[in-house]
């Protein structure tokens, strides 16, 4: 009787049909990629074993022989040495104009305006935030493909809950540039809730306090039998651990009366020192802040109390957002069953203590705050790829800011209120303003203010072909559709005649299809360069290994060779050394193969000698 097959828990029925799907936490300070393996979500490590990838990209100077870029820890190490070309915290620039970037002049690299978008001016040319983010995403993609030895089917990428439409679209564009199929964008607090809900079987109302390197989110979620309902969300997309670093650095400089403008290198060095001190104070009772600025050596002992005082305004800003989101959810803090801490910045003792005291209960920290978002995204990606048989996971996410259109007088008529569950489609009827009006101009906006001037403009389009009627007679239905990624499309239809117009909202920073195609071509070209560079390095390593082994063999057993044979091998060694110094990987491989082939008889002679020496003096019975 044949044995019946049983599938692994959490896996598809046919393991051979399993798709490689991952969750990616594209963070301000660092990023991670995770996947479900053997039924358990885990972060995927790089070759060195580290799962965290610093969200830092350094562009090299082509004029000085540099080609390409450094990503992650290599780039981070060069941040003080080459701050102008080392881009960190690029997430803060995503979907933003230069004017919308907080403290843009304090950044160590140059940010300029281009086509309504903040871009970074580097020695390798101007780089959009999407291009920089694509470098990070591509690195994580390659890590996932190396881990599974298979192509990536798709990814769930997390974004801050308070990211607006422009920032979400920028994230999708970055993923496209990196060659990643986006299965879904989900909010970071929702991803954290998935990880906690599935790991701990928790149910009830939870607050997700997410303080990362550059963004802060607070969300109230209700977890009930696998349903994750976001009741309300809020936060600040320009507040995070970076701001704590800057506040501490400003405090230390003020203590020493430093008021002169700092150079880019000095700013980077001071910022890095502030971050080091901040992290040290999570466990130490004091730490020395030491830096050299404007020719002056600064050394100051910093205590946890000093740090708390210098950053008190930032912690207070997070708690103001917490109170507001509780009001939006219509609950009190006493109704919150647990508080989940997410983001590396929640390791700061002052943050944990402040949150715990406010809610009157210890915060949940039993999952790694750096990894929890990526783990939740991986669980969702596994389900969307069809690998999981668990069909009871349902996400009810929300849209963070209200959506509406401009009406006469520059007023906003909100059609999709903030904290509406997504995906959603809501409609409202409008009419014409003048007799005989045959067209309607629609202006789509996002925000909570009543005046269009105070809200963010998303798109404009026109509905034409309306039959002439008296003012107020036409019935135009405007429908807002928000998909599962939180991205918007708007349509307008005159009910009587059926004429219709629609727009898929592309944010003002807009990458055109042509620009995306050009960037994709550039990325393909860069990928080819990377492949060639890797092949050259591997060929040189093999050549060095072969030459070292041959020289060792000659030193030990050269007497086994005839003089002509010895000369031939020595000549091939010299030739390989010369070839290996060049840049032709194929030539190096050929020279290595030639030396290996020529030394095969020598290797056989050495093996025979070794066997003879091992058997020397032994009887047949002993052998």
Q: How many residues does the chain have?
A: 623
In a domain, 622, yes or no: no
Asked about 217 being catalytic, the answer comes back as: no
Residues 186 and 119 in one domain: yes
Residues 419 and 473 in one domain: yes
Residue 138 predicted with pLDDT over 90: yes
pLDDT tens by residue, 211-251: 988 888 888 888 776 666 778 888 887 788 889 999 998 89
Using DSSP's 3-state secondary structure scheme, residue 186 falls into strand
Annotated catalytic residue, options 25, 131, 135, 371: 25
Asked about 210 being catalytic, the answer comes back as: yes
pTM for the model stands at 0.65
Q: Determine the pLDDT at residue 269.
A: 85
Residues 422 and 288 in one domain: no
Q: Determine the pLDDT at residue 615.
A: 67
Q: Which of 52, 82, 38 has the alpha carbon at shortest distance from 143?
A: 52
pLDDT tens by residue, 247-268: 998 898 888 877 667 787 888 8
> In angstroms, rounded to a whole number, what is the distance separating the alpha carbons of residues 150 and 145?
5
Identify the CATH number of the domain in which residue 597 sits.
1.20.1270.10
Which is higher by pLDDT, 493 or 263?
493
Q: Which residues are registered as beta bridge partners of 137? A: none
**Domain enclosing residue 213, as ranges:** 15-240+314-396
> In angstroms, rounded to a whole number, what is the distance separating the alpha carbons of residues 61 and 92?
25
Tell me the average pLDDT across 50-67. 83
Structural domain ending residue among the three candidates 351, 380, 396: 396
8 Å CB contact between 250 and 234: no
Asked about 172 being catalytic, the answer comes back as: no
Which is higher by pLDDT, 617 or 539?
539
Identify the CATH number of the domain in which residue 415 sits.
2.60.34.10
Q: Determine the pLDDT at residue 15.
A: 46
In a domain, 148, yes or no: yes
In a domain, 1, yes or no: no
In a domain, 584, yes or no: yes
Token pair of 237 as six digits = 């997309």
Q: Which of 386, 325, 399, 317 has the alpha carbon at shortest distance from 354?
A: 317
**Residue 331 banded pLDDT, cuts 50, 70, 90:** very high
Annotated catalytic residue, options 173, 188, 217, 494: 188
pLDDT tens by residue, 348-360: 999 999 999 999 9
8 Å CB contact between 444 and 505: yes
Annotated catalytic residue, options 82, 91, 278, 287: 91
Residues 291 and 325 in one domain: no
Residues 250 and 166 in one domain: no
> In angstroms, rounded to a whole number, what is the distance separating the alpha carbons of residues 12 and 524?
33
Residues 207 and 289 in one domain: no
Residues 339 and 408 in one domain: no
Identify the CATH number of the domain in which residue 349 sits.
3.30.420.40
Q: Which of 206, 156, 138 has the alpha carbon at shortest distance from 520?
A: 138
In a domain, 276, yes or no: yes
Residues 225 and 343 in one domain: yes
Give the count of domains, the chain: 4
Tell me the average pLDDT across 346-372. 90
Identify the CATH number of the domain in which residue 260 sits.
3.90.640.10
Upper half-sphere CA count for residue 549 (Cβ side, 13 Å): 14
**Residue 396 banded pLDDT, cuts 50, 70, 90:** low
pLDDT tens by residue, 399-426: 767 888 887 767 788 888 876 777 788 8
Q: Determine the pLDDT at residue 199.
A: 47
Residue 5 predicted with pLDDT over 50: no
Asked about 567 being catalytic, the answer comes back as: no
In a domain, 349, yes or no: yes
pLDDT tens by residue, 432-471: 777 788 888 888 888 777 777 777 788 888 888 888 887 7
Structural domain ending residue among the three candidates 361, 379, 396: 396
Residues 413 and 482 in one domain: yes
Annotated catalytic residue, options 82, 210, 371, 406: 210
Residues 575 and 494 in one domain: no
What is the share, in percent, of the chain residues with pLDDT greater than 70? 86
In a domain, 273, yes or no: yes
Structural domain ending residue among the three candidates 459, 482, 504: 504
In a domain, 7, yes or no: no
């Amino acid at each position: 009787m044949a044995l019946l097959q049983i599938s692994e828990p959490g896996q598809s029925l046919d393991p051979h049909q399993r798709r490689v799907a991952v969750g990616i936490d594209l963070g301000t300070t660092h990023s991670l990629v995770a996947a479900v393996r053997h039924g358990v979500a885990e972060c995927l490590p790089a070759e060195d074993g580290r799962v965290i990838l610093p969200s830092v990209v350094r562009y090299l100077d082509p004029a000085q022989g540099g080609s390409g870029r450094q990503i992650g820890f290599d780039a981070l190490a060069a941040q003080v040495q080459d701050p102008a070309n080392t881009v960190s915290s690029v997430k803060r620039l995503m979907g933003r104009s230069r004017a919308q970037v907080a403290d843009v002049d304090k950044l160590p690299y140059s940010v300029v305006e281009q086509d309504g978008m903040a871009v970074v001016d580097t020695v390798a040319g101007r780089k959009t935030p999407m291009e920089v983010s694509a470098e990070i995403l591509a690195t994580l993609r390659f890590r996932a493909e190396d881990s599974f030895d298979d192509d990536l089917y798709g990814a769930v990428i997390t974004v801050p809950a308070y990211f607006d439409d422009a920032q979400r679209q920028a994230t999708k564009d970055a993923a496209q540039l990196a060659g990643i199929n986006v299965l879904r964008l989900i909010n970071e607090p929702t991803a954290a809730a998935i990880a906690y809900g599935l790991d701990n079987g928790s149910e009830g109302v939870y607050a997700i306090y997410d303080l990362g390197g550059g963004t802060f989110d607070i969300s109230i979620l209700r977890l009930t039998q696998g349903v994750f309902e976001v009741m309300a969300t809020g936060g600040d997309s320009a507040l995070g651990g970076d701001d704590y670093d800057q506040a501490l650095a400003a405090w230390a400089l003020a203590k020493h009366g430093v008021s002169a403008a700092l150079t880019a290198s000095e700013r980077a060095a001071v910022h890095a020192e502030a971050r080091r001190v901040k992290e040290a104070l999570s466990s130490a009772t004091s730490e020395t802040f030491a830096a050299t600025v404007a020719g002056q050596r600064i050394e100051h002992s910093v205590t946890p109390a000093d740090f708390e005082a210098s950053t008190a305004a930032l912690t207070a800003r997070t708690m103001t957002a917490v109170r507001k989101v509780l009001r939006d959810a219509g609950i009190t803090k006493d109704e919150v069953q647990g508080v989940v801490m997410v983001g590396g910045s929640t390791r700061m003792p002052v943050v944990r203590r402040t949150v715990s005291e406010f809610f009157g209960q210890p915060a949940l920290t039993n999952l790694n705050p750096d990894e929890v978002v990526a783990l939740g995204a991986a669980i969702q990606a596994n389900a969307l790829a069809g690998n999981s048989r668990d069909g009871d996971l349902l996400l009810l996410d929300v849209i963070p800011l209200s959506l509406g259109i401009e009406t006469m007088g520059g007023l906003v008529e909100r059609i999709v209120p903030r904290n509406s569950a997504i995906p959603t489609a809501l409609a409202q009827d409008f009419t014409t303003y003048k007799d005989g009006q045959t067209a309607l101009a629609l202006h789509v906006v996002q925000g909570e203010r009543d005046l269009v001037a105070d809200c963010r403009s998303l798109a404009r389009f026109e509905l034409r072909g309306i039959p002439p009627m008296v003012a107020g007679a036409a019935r135009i239905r405007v429908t807002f559709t928000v998909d599962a990624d939180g991205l918007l499309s708007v349509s307008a239809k005159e009910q009587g005649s059926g004429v219709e117009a629609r727009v898929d909202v592309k944010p003002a920073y807009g990458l055109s299809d042509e620009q995306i195609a050009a960037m994709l071509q550039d990325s393909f070209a860069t990928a080819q360069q990377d492949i060639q560079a890797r092949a050259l390095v591997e060929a040189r390593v093999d050549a060095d290994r072969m030459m070292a082994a041959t020289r060792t063999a000659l030193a030990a057993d050269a007497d086994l060779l005839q003089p002509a044979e010895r000369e031939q091998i020595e000549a091939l060694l010299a030739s390989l050394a010369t070839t290996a110094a060049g840049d032709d990987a194929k030539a190096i491989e050929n020279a290595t193969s030639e030396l290996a082939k020529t030394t095969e008889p020598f290797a056989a002679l050495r093996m025979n000698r070794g066997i003879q020496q091992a058997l020397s003096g032994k009887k047949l019975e002993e052998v």
